[in-house]
Structure 1
């Protein structure tokens, strides 16, 4: 019997190739979208679960809860991990590391690698797999280094890297020796490690002090097997009292496997983190696509069931039970979804390179076709196939056999109310996706294009280097070039925050906190960055007091009050926050450094607009050993200008690697997650609206077939094609408008909630809803009109004969 059902299903599919193609296309594209999203979600959820110790590794975080906003930071005292290890026996080990890009030299050639500098037991705690060497001895000798297989192939192609030498600059010493080789760190890890250095010495247990400390990278503890992090957390209160830390201070822990998705609110965190909300949003999109595809299948199947009603009548007359007929139609649905699953996997294979490039991640094809991903897709597809086949099978199998063969009108009743509900649901979901896409796109454009208070175009910066002995000569050599407008040195890096922070309780509201940031830059900082001066003056080389080294002066006279006479420039927001009515010559004692205000700058945003800028204090950088070089260039002959800058750099700093970054490029990279969201929503919203249009096309086809006789009579009575089209289309227009009415408030509330994460955000405008409405109505009505006009153009005589 099953073989017979299979043969009937194949003949049925072949009998109407247009139906089969349209249905398979919509369903396959929908399942492809689900497969791609599932693959990406499983990748995001798999971070750091491959380490054998991952369930026992926890990152240490500090929390300050006394004033709002609360601070959660991964920047903790160097000694904290060692102190916790010494105090609590359930801790097996502690470690720390910092990851960043670093340029190394091999055979006088520079190579930029993802570098990790960590405690000597870093590779042991994380249990990195070694190809050569081992974790316990690889850093037993000074100036040892461990490479990944990828880095070894780049630095020493075709050779064994063990025992080979690596330098940090062309002519520098000491020389590092390769003592270990590890397997490549997979991309689903919170750190990137092509090359691993050890700290000169591990953290030594000293007295813990949260008021003044140095912080290196991020710190971790490894619990002993069976250790309970919750019980450890309960003991922290007594630990803090013992070491007399700030009463508002608390210490917390976050599991290694949770860092990637649940640490976006922790400052000084690793770069490779994602807000868990994005995962929820994508999961919702995945569900919406699947629901829309299933609704589409139900509509298509029901529409085509009219053509098979005689088959059902004959089968029932020959003795087939309703259960057998229902089983047959559910089986056909099952088979149809199975074929669609195969096509979805094939489409996913073809689309995967485009998909991962859109997400800006490097994942091999093996991450797509994993057994868990395939099982999830098959389970979702087959379950959807069975559920989607239930309604059409019950509908057709319940028809009265005698009435069908006699062509009685009530023998086969189609529940148009349910079908209308499905269409409204389908278009409401599609409209929600469209509105969300438009809002996310507008927010993304706003973040990228909102004025930052300085001119980010044509401003490039060079890496931090030892410029003390050549600072002025180097600057003059650059300025003398006609395509260079200005040059400035500063300790801050655009897009990466500030070097020094401090906090004070807000004097006007003790429940709130004021965050200050310290900028150290030379005389030409404001001029080079093109920041506007609101009032007062800038630093000047002709004013003696500006050039005084107040650090040396304070040490010499042993009077810390000398700092109150130091000239400083502040931001407009600082003046407002402290309610300073006459800021010029006002002595600022809040924040760091203290001094006398000589000028007020208009507010400018140095970092991402996803966070608020602290209150800025600008102190003069009189002479610096290490600083970033900022160069304002003209728009013309950029390659020539950059070549000149490179040659000048190599002349003054031959042992330093030359790299440059444009400020606007660096700032744009800060919004990669928003760019990915925008592209994903645009991609999948387009798919949703296309699938919905296919479903509406089939419903229009069904309605037109049911009303063929009516259309013929109206044409005979003199109705025009446009009259008939308007009459039938109005019913569908009501469905689409109903979908819009449902979608608008849902999308608005969802996007308002999403925007709360951004301190700088757009207002959702009515134009967004108007565009979504126009797009939805246009696609829907165009789809319906194609069917209606085709039916209205038929010869009414044929319509009346075939009804």
Structure 2
């Protein structure tokens, strides 16, 4: 019986090659797209899932109540990890974690004649006991417990010492100022880890090099803890809530709490709202999962529509089978079997497409996805997908055709009920509604990304370079600046802690006369050099920049938001205190964005410190002469800082990194919109082909009676455009709601324009017309004699 079903199904595929090709291709594209998204979603969900102690690992975050709002951040106190472990019995291990270089920069290592830059962190001695980063050499308990010790990756060990075993016990120079002993070598950090590093240094060194960590009002590092197996996370969270008040006194208007987040959730749930975890990348995971289902549904709908449209051709076959005793269930099995065969062929093609597209998809998403053909679970998933898709696509046509009445069929009086016609048209409406929604989403996301890229940030990102302050540049900054300015391709030079896009340091220690003692305001704080305003091309609203003509060691510059928050009417000359530093406001700059557009501009206070030992040199180069300026800067750095490879970043490139996730979403949404439209049009093309064929005699009679080709084309086109028009009415409000909700994640955003809906509507109509026009015109210009000669 199975052999008979297979032969029948195969013959039907070959007999109707065009429809079979459209069905298989549509399903293959839908399956390929769904598989790619599935691999991406699986990779996203696998991040940090490999840690053996994952169930007991937590990240500590800080929640602050002040100024009538609640903020939260992963930055914590520098001594918090050790104190939590010593005072909370349910905490088995704890570790702080802090980058060893400024954001966007790397550290320089030298061993023998080899010099290279690497990225890494300071970590507590419990780190390797907590996290499952496999040690190839060394002991997890002592890997980074001693001062001046370092654990390096396998890649780093091979780069500097040839292999991991040779690295142990060797000395490597860090930033040309410290000699560190290699005490451990770990396996390269997997790509599905949210923590990425090439080396880890001892937390003892971090504390020794940063005196500010002893002040519990300062925050910067991240803190991780591992609870004991029998610990209750809720009880531990209650215990640590007010923990920091053991080390600092309470302040009016400011309340600080500590909370725990499961470490395995941190990657996907990293956004805060009103001080609590509120989504993050999980939203994109959910979104793309839904998109994968919808695109697969669009492909399945094609199958349903085309199969039921061809039902008239197989009506007599069904009638004869029933007359000679075939049961309805056997017919259903046969038709579902045919659907499964088509799905099987589509899956084979889809797997080939995925393997060909994966390199480009990885480049687009920044992933390292592979097609896991060697994994048994993958083939279980493929089998489940085969059965599910085959059943969804084949169930309705199977039940529909198996319900034919043999008497009516054999008399040639088969007519589709109003319900069946309505259902088929409803499927077309659903297809195009989804397609129109994808088009609108693509337009809105593109417009928001254009807005982000072109918005005036308050400073000029063009022709601005960042050079890390490292090695001998720390003490030779002034010499570097003078030599750079002697070159005509370089306009201005300044310096700052971090960089203009990552002013992450904040302070609550800002006071001014007549300040409400119950008011606590968080200020972003910047430390800069001379000529900062000129180099950044900021707009000075009042006062002046820092100048060597004055003693500005205690002077401050504020932004507009800071002035408004303080309440100064004439800010220049007013007194402000930053902790123990009391000084005068000498300038006010127009607000500029120093973080992504997801966040509101915060109050900013800037002070002068030309001797700050790390951060970024800002260089403004002459437009059109970037290449010459970089060559000049490289020569200067090589002369002044020979032990450090010359590195730099463009300001606009660093700014673009703030929106990596959104850029990926933008590109993927464009791809999905194209696929959705293309798959929908495949089905529409097939339906148009079949309709033209079924109505060939009607068209012939109309032409004999005087109908023009134009009338025929209009007649056929209107029937297909009606469901497309209905799809607009459904798609527009749903798309507006979804995209308006997405835009809420940006503090600065576009307003959704009616133009996006017009463009989407016109595009859908034009695509539909182009799709069906070929068959409509072909039917309209056909010779009526050919279609009527059999009558």
C-alpha separation between the residues in 1 aligned to 2:62 and 2:450?
A: 34
Where does residue 260 of structure 1 map in the other structure? 267
Instruction: Check the 8 A contact 1:124/1:136 in 2, yes or no.
Output: yes
C-alpha separation between the residues in 2 aligned to 1:121 and 1:411?
A: 72
- Structure 1 residues 676 and 370, CA gap change in structure 2 (3 angstroms): farther
Where does residue 27 of structure 1 map in the other structure? 27
How far 1:458 moved relative to its partner? 0.9
Instruction: Check the 8 A contact 2:70/2:275 in 1, yes or no.
Output: no
Asked if residue 387 in structure 1 is aligned to residue 392 in structure 2, the reply is yes
Asked if residue 635 in structure 1 is aligned to residue 623 in structure 2, the reply is yes
How far 1:154 moved relative to its partner? 2.6
Please give the residue correspondences for 1:146-295 in structure 2 after superposition, counting only pairs within 5 Å: 146-157=151-162, 160-163=165-168, 165-169=170-174, 171-174=176-179, 176-200=180-204, 212-215=216-219, 217-237=221-241, 239=243, 246=250, 248-265=255-272, 275-295=281-301
Instruction: Check the 8 A contact 1:570/1:616 in 2, yes or no.
Output: yes
Where does residue 537 of structure 2 map in the other structure? 530
C-alpha separation between the residues in 2 aligned to 1:574 and 1:603?
A: 9
Q: Secondary structure at the match of 2:204?
A: coil
How far 1:4 moved relative to its partner? 0.5
How far 1:618 moved relative to its partner? 2.6
C-alpha separation between the residues in 1 aligned to 2:559 and 2:244?
A: 36
- Residues 531-583 of structure 1 deviation map (CA, whole Å, 9 limit, x = unaligned): 111233333333xxx32544xxxxxxxxxxxxxxxx43221222333443323
Where does residue 127 of structure 2 map in the other structure? 122
Instruction: Check the 8 A contact 1:522/1:622 in 2, yes or no.
Output: yes
Where does residue 519 of structure 1 map in the other structure? 526
Where does residue 14 of structure 2 map in the other structure? 14
Instruction: Check the 8 A contact 2:61/2:76 in 1, yes or no.
Output: yes
- Structure 1 residues 168 and 371, CA gap change in structure 2 (3 angstroms): farther
Where does residue 721 of structure 1 map in the other structure? 709
Bigger drift between 466-475 and 755-764 goes to: 466-475
- Residues 326-381 of structure 1 deviation map (CA, whole Å, 9 limit, x = unaligned): 11101111221122122211211111111111001234x25586444443343233
C-alpha separation between the residues in 2 aligned to 1:693 and 1:388?
A: 17
Instruction: Check the 8 A contact 1:60/1:220 in 2, yes or no.
Output: yes
Instruction: Check the 8 A contact 1:74/1:268 in 2, yes or no.
Output: no
Where does residue 571 of structure 1 map in the other structure? 559
Instruction: Check the 8 A contact 1:467/1:627 in 2, yes or no.
Output: no
C-alpha separation between the residues in 2 aligned to 1:745 and 1:593?
A: 55
- Structure 1 residues 525 and 30, CA gap change in structure 2 (3 angstroms): same
Bigger drift between 508-517 and 620-629 goes to: 508-517
- Residues 636-685 of structure 1 deviation map (CA, whole Å, 9 limit, x = unaligned): 44333222212212322334442111111111122111110011111111
Bigger drift between 404-413 and 759-768 goes to: 404-413
Please give the residue correspondences for 1:76-87 in structure 2 after superposition, counting only pairs within 5 Å: 76-87=76-87
C-alpha separation between the residues in 2 aligned to 1:241 and 1:473?
A: 46
Bigger drift between 678-687 and 613-622 goes to: 613-622
Please give the residue correspondences for 1:318-467 in structure 2 after superposition, counting only pairs within 5 Å: 318-363=324-369, 365=370, 370-410=375-415, 415-465=420-470, 467=473
Please give the residue correspondences for 1:553-632 in structure 2 after superposition, counting only pairs within 5 Å: 567-588=555-576, 595-632=583-620
How far 1:599 moved relative to its partner? 2.4
Q: Secondary structure at the match of 1:28?
A: helix
- Structure 1 residues 210 and 24, CA gap change in structure 2 (3 angstroms): farther
Asked if residue 766 in structure 1 is aligned to residue 766 in structure 2, the reply is no
Asked if residue 662 in structure 1 is aligned to residue 650 in structure 2, the reply is yes
Q: Secondary structure at the match of 1:746?
A: helix
How far 1:258 moved relative to its partner? 0.4
Q: Secondary structure at the match of 2:476?
A: helix
Asked if residue 308 in structure 1 is aligned to residue 317 in structure 2, the reply is no
- Structure 1 residues 480 and 214, CA gap change in structure 2 (3 angstroms): same
- Structure 1 residues 469 and 91, CA gap change in structure 2 (3 angstroms): closer
Instruction: Check the 8 A contact 1:437/1:681 in 2, yes or no.
Output: yes
Instruction: Check the 8 A contact 2:531/2:547 in 1, yes or no.
Output: no
Asked if residue 700 in structure 1 is aligned to residue 688 in structure 2, the reply is yes
Where does residue 56 of structure 2 map in the other structure? 56
- Residues 153-204 of structure 1 deviation map (CA, whole Å, 9 limit, x = unaligned): 3333467433363534575442x23332222221111111322222236979
RMSD: 3.1
C-alpha separation between the residues in 1 aligned to 2:687 and 2:461?
A: 53
Structure 2: unaligned runs, 5 residues or longer: 101-105
Where does residue 700 of structure 2 map in the other structure? 712
Instruction: Check the 8 A contact 2:62/2:258 in 1, yes or no.
Output: yes
Where does residue 92 of structure 2 map in the other structure? 92
- Structure 1 residues 731 and 369, CA gap change in structure 2 (3 angstroms): farther
Residue from 634, 652, 660 that aligns with 1:646: 634
Bigger drift between 430-439 and 405-414 goes to: 405-414
Bigger drift between 628-637 and 41-50 goes to: 628-637
Instruction: Check the 8 A contact 2:125/2:142 in 1, yes or no.
Output: no
- Structure 1 residues 232 and 724, CA gap change in structure 2 (3 angstroms): same
Structure 1: unaligned runs, 5 residues or longer: 551-566
C-alpha separation between the residues in 2 aligned to 1:164 and 1:383?
A: 57
C-alpha separation between the residues in 2 aligned to 1:299 and 1:121?
A: 61
C-alpha separation between the residues in 1 aligned to 2:153 and 2:582?
A: 47
- Structure 1 residues 115 and 366, CA gap change in structure 2 (3 angstroms): farther
- Structure 1 residues 788 and 549, CA gap change in structure 2 (3 angstroms): closer
Instruction: Check the 8 A contact 1:483/1:636 in 2, yes or no.
Output: no
How far 1:253 moved relative to its partner? 0.4
C-alpha separation between the residues in 1 aligned to 2:310 and 2:395?
A: 15
Count of aligned positions: 777
- Residues 501-555 of structure 1 deviation map (CA, whole Å, 9 limit, x = unaligned): 337799999999643222222331111111111233333333xxx32544xxxxx
Q: Secondary structure at the match of 1:339?
A: helix
- Residues 372-403 of structure 1 deviation map (CA, whole Å, 9 limit, x = unaligned): 44433432332121122111112212222233
- Residues 37-77 of structure 1 deviation map (CA, whole Å, 9 limit, x = unaligned): 11110111111111111111111111113444421111112
Q: Secondary structure at the match of 1:18?
A: helix
Please give the residue correspondences for 1:782-797 in structure 2 after superposition, counting only pairs within 5 Å: 782-797=770-785
C-alpha separation between the residues in 2 aligned to 1:763 and 1:511?
A: 38
Instruction: Check the 8 A contact 2:468/2:647 in 1, yes or no.
Output: yes
C-alpha separation between the residues in 2 aligned to 1:721 and 1:592?
A: 88
Q: Give TM-score scaled by structure 1 length.
A: 0.90
Bigger drift between 707-716 and 434-443 goes to: 707-716
Residue from 670, 683, 689 that aligns with 2:671: 683
Instruction: Check the 8 A contact 2:146/2:204 in 1, yes or no.
Output: no
C-alpha separation between the residues in 1 aligned to 2:704 and 2:126?
A: 90
Q: Secondary structure at the match of 2:493?
A: strand
Where does residue 45 of structure 1 map in the other structure? 45
Instruction: Check the 8 A contact 2:22/2:683 in 1, yes or no.
Output: no
How far 1:592 moved relative to its partner? 9.2
C-alpha separation between the residues in 2 aligned to 1:510 and 1:293?
A: 64
Instruction: Check the 8 A contact 2:62/2:73 in 1, yes or no.
Output: yes
C-alpha separation between the residues in 2 aligned to 1:232 and 1:171?
A: 43
- Structure 1 residues 371 and 267, CA gap change in structure 2 (3 angstroms): farther
